[in-house]
Amino acid sequence: EAGVAQSPRYKIIEKRQSVAFWCNPISGHATLYWYQQILGQGPKLLIQFQNNGVVDDSQLPKDRFSAERLKGVDSTLKIQPAKLEDSAVYLCASSSQGTGANVLTFGAGSRLTVL
Partner 1 sequence: ELKVEQNPLFLSMQEGKNYTIYCNYSTTSDRLYWYRQDPGKSLESLFVLLSNGAVKQEGRLMASLDTKARLSTLHITAAVHDLSATYFCALDSNAGGTSYGKLTFGQGTILTVHP
115 makes contact with partner 1 (CB under 8 A): no
Query: Among residue numbers 11 through 50, which ones bind partner 1 (CB under 8 A)?
Result: 31, 33, 35, 40-45, 48, 50
The minimum distance between CB 97 and partner 1, in angstroms, equals 6
Residue 47: beta bridge partners? Answer: 34
Q: Where are the beta strands (DSSP E) in the chain?
A: 5-7, 10-13, 19-24, 31-37, 44-50, 53-56, 65-68, 75-79, 88-95, 105-106, 110-114
106 makes contact with partner 1 (CB under 8 A): yes
The minimum distance between CB 81 and partner 1, in angstroms, equals 27
